[in-house]
Amino acid sequence: MTAYLDHAATTPMLPAALAAMTEQLMVVGNPSSLHRTGRAARRVVEESRERIARCVGARPSEVVFTSGGTESDNLAVKGTFRARRDADPARVRLLVGATEHHAVLDSVEHLVAHEGAKVTWLEPTAEGFVEPATLRAAIDTDPESVALVSLMWANNEVGTVQDVRALAEVAHEFGVPFHTDAVQAVGHVPVDFAASGTDLMSVTAHKLGGPIGVGALVVRREARLVPLTHGGGQERQVRSGTLDTPAIVGFATALVEATETMESETARLVALRDELIDRAMAVAPDIRPTGVWERGDATRRLPGNAHLLVPGCDGDSLLYLLDAAGVSCSTGSACQAGVPQPSHVLLAMGIPESDARGALRLTLGHTSTHDDVDAVITALPAAVERARRAREATAS
C-alpha cells in the first residue's frame, strides 16, 4: 500500500464531488445552447458559480471559469499586462514575487521576451514572506510604469501564507491592480476575495478535492483583461470555450465541502503536520523545516505542508528511495532538460544551493492519517542514509 503525501500536487476527489460530477456526466447539454437541455446545463453552471462565489467571498459575476490554475495565472498576467499597456504604453513593468509558481514566472518571462515587458522580482524574507515595504519600494521607483503586481497567497513548496490584504493595499495606493495565485490557499485557509482587496485571484479544483482540469479566475468587474482565447465569447467575453458542466459542478461541490469542514480539518492536519515534522527532525539532527513553522499554527503556514531540508542528500534520490518504500511525495524542485535543479523558491529565500538540493516536500490532505506519518518515518532513516552515501560517492 502507498502512503500518499503529495496533496499539494493533487488531492483525491471528495466522494460528494465525484458523485455530483458523475451524475452530471450522464446528462447531455451545452450550457451555451438556447434549447431546453442547454438551459438546464446553464442552470447547473450558474448555480455552481454562485456556490463557488459564496465560498471565496466574491460575486457570481466575478467568477470566470478556466481549465485550472495555470490558465488562470496566464490570463491574469498576460491579459492584464496587455490591457494596461494598450491603454498606456508606459505601463510595461511587472512586479512579481521571486517565489511564484512557474505558471506566473513563465508567463512573465514570455512577456519580457516577446512583448517588451520589464520585470522587478520581489525578494522574500528567509521565511518566504514578501514585506509590504519591499513592494512599496519597488513601485515607488517608477509608479507610472507598473502594469501589475502578482504575489501568491500561499506558496506551493514551503507553504508560507502571505498577508495578501496588506500587499494589495500597497498596490492600490499607487493605482496598480493586484493578482494573487490562491491555488494552494482556497479550501485550506480562509480566503475572502472581497475583503482581501485583490483584483484577480487564481483558483483550481484539484487541490481541494475537485476534478483535474477546471478552475477559475476571480476578476473584479472593473478589471480589464485582453482575452487569450477567442471564439464563442463565453465568460464575459474573457474566456471563450464550451464550459465543462460536470467538472464545474464537481468543483463547486468540493469547494463547499472543503469550506464547511475547514475548521475541523485544519486542526486535524496541523496536528499531523507537526507530528510529521517533529518525528522527521528526530531522524537526523540536521533535518529542519523551511519557511515559518510554529506548532499549532495555520495562519502563516499551510496546515498540511511539511517541507523539509535534508542536508547531504539529493532530493531526487530521497524521492525515489521513498517511492520504492511505498511513500509518494515530491522534492519541490524543478527538473529542466533532464538536469535536476535546486528550487528557485529556496534559492530566493537565501538557502544555499547545496542545502536546497536536499529538499523534500511532504504534504497532507483529507485522506491523510497517522498511518501515513508512520510510513514516512519508518522509511525515512534508510532513505536518508542511502541518499547521503550516494551523494558522497558522486562527489568523490
Residues with a catalytic annotation lie at 335
Q: In this structure, what C-alpha cell is assigned to residue 29?
A: 447539454
Owner of C-alpha cell 482556497:
186
Ramachandran bin of 214, using left for φ above 0, alpha for ψ from -120 to 50, beta for the remaining angles: beta
User: To the nearest 10°, the Cα dihedral for 323, 326, 331, 336?
Assistant: 30
Smallest CA-to-CA distance from 174 within 201, 136, 200 is with 136
What distances in angstroms separate CA 192 from CA 58, 197, 251, 297, 356, one per listed residue? 7, 9, 18, 19, 33
As a whole number of angstroms, the distance between CA 21 and CA 40 comes to 15
Would you say 148 and 202 are in contact if contact means Cβ atoms under 8 Å apart? no
Owner of C-alpha cell 465541502:
257
Count of C-beta atoms within a 10 Å radius of residue 131: 17
Residues 6+ apart with CB under 8 A from 26: none
Count of C-beta atoms within a 10 Å radius of residue 379: 19
As a whole number of angstroms, the distance between CA 368 and CA 22 comes to 24
* Helical spans, DSSP H, in 15-91: 15-25, 36-56, 69-87
Side-chain-facing half-sphere of 30: CA atoms under 13 Å: 8
- Eight-class DSSP state of 359: E
Smallest CA-to-CA distance from 188 within 156, 236, 163 is with 156
Owner of C-alpha cell 465560498:
55
Owner of C-alpha cell 512573465:
108
Count of C-beta atoms within a 10 Å radius of residue 309: 20
Q: In this structure, what C-alpha cell is assigned to residue 339?
A: 538536469
